Amino acid sequence: MAAREQDGVVEVAEMFGEVARVLAADDDEHTTLDRIVHLAVENLESCEYAGISLVEGRDITSPASSNEIPKVVDRLQSESARAPASMPSPRRTSSGPAT
């Protein structure tokens, strides 16, 4: 591995180590989820907005988001009864008569 690539790997490893330390210090689930989305925006170069979507049946909620945009997307998806774009759609399978 070239020195430049190795520096990049070390930088990412250090970032994840810091993220792990920060998350381990959180006291409750809401704080942890909120911190995850904000750390994503702060540490991922191309990430402008982040959200965590919770899918329960046809309902999609946003327990944590960096701003209102992910919440609006979740609300629209919930209203249209569609799963978040990053999630595969559930597939229905049917079986024929046993032979």
Residue written as token pair 């907005």: 49
Q: Would you say residue 94 lies in a domain?
A: no
Q: Would you say residue 51 lies in a domain?
A: yes
Measured CA to CA, the distance from residue 76 to residue 93 in angstroms comes to 27
Measured between alpha carbons, how far is residue 6 from residues 2, 85, 91 in Å?
Answer: 6, 34, 42
Q: Would you say residue 90 lies in a domain?
A: no
Q: Would you say residue 11 lies in a domain?
A: yes
| Structural domain span for residue 65 | 3-79
Q: Would you say residue 14 lies in a domain?
A: yes
Q: Would you say residue 73 lies in a domain?
A: yes
Q: Would you say residue 98 lies in a domain?
A: no
Model pLDDT for residues 23-77, shown as the tens digit of each residue: 788 778 888 889 889 988 988 888 999 999 988 887 888 999 999 999 999 888 8
The count of domains in the chain is: 1
Where does the pLDDT of residue 96 fall: very low under 50, low under 70, confident under 90, or very high at 90 and above? Answer: very low
Q: Would you say residue 25 lies in a domain?
A: yes
Question: Are the beta carbons of 82 and 54 closer than 8 angstroms?
Answer: no
